[in-house]
Amino acid sequence: MPTSSKPLTEAELLKMPASAYMNADQLAFFRSRLEALRDEMLSNAANTGAALKENENFADPNDRASMEEEHMLEQRVRDRERKQLKKINSALKRIDSGEYGWCEETGDPIGLPRLLARPTAEYSIEAQERHEMMEKLRA
């Protein structure tokens, strides 16, 4: 069922047999998805930079405070995206090295549904739950 001539859809991806896990078509699908996410974030960051450079002077202190609050919120979103960008770049490197789609802790398949929901996932659901439980215990 390889469709190298055109990109796979999510439905086609999910219909593939388990033996096709992380084949060339699936890797190309996730590479495309990750690159699109990366490009969107980089575009957002450029737009934010331009918006923040527009230094408007407001006579009204309330207007100025509102604008400063908007800038702080925007910067917080971009900070989250910067962290996500690192995860995207790491996932792209794992695709290149052949490690993408496999749990970094157990070596088991992460699973297509999880990767569709979170293409940067590094762990299977079970391993991720263990990590989160350990974080709670340490906190």
CATH number for region 20-100: 1.20.120.910
What CA–CA distance (Å, rounded) separates 38 from 41? 5
Give the per-residue pLDDT at 52. 59
Give the per-residue pLDDT at 3. 47
Which residue, 59, 1, 62, is CA-closest to 29?
A: 1
Task: Express as a percent the part of the chain with pLDDT over 90.
Answer: 60
Flag whether pLDDT at 74 surpasses 50: yes
Flag whether pLDDT at 42 surpasses 70: yes
Average pLDDT over residues 94-110: 96
Tokens of 69: 């609050």
| Residue ranges of the chain assigned to CATH 1.20.120.910 | 20-100
Radius of gyration of the CA atoms of the chain, in A: 20
pLDDT band at 67 (very low <50, low <70, confident <90, very high): confident
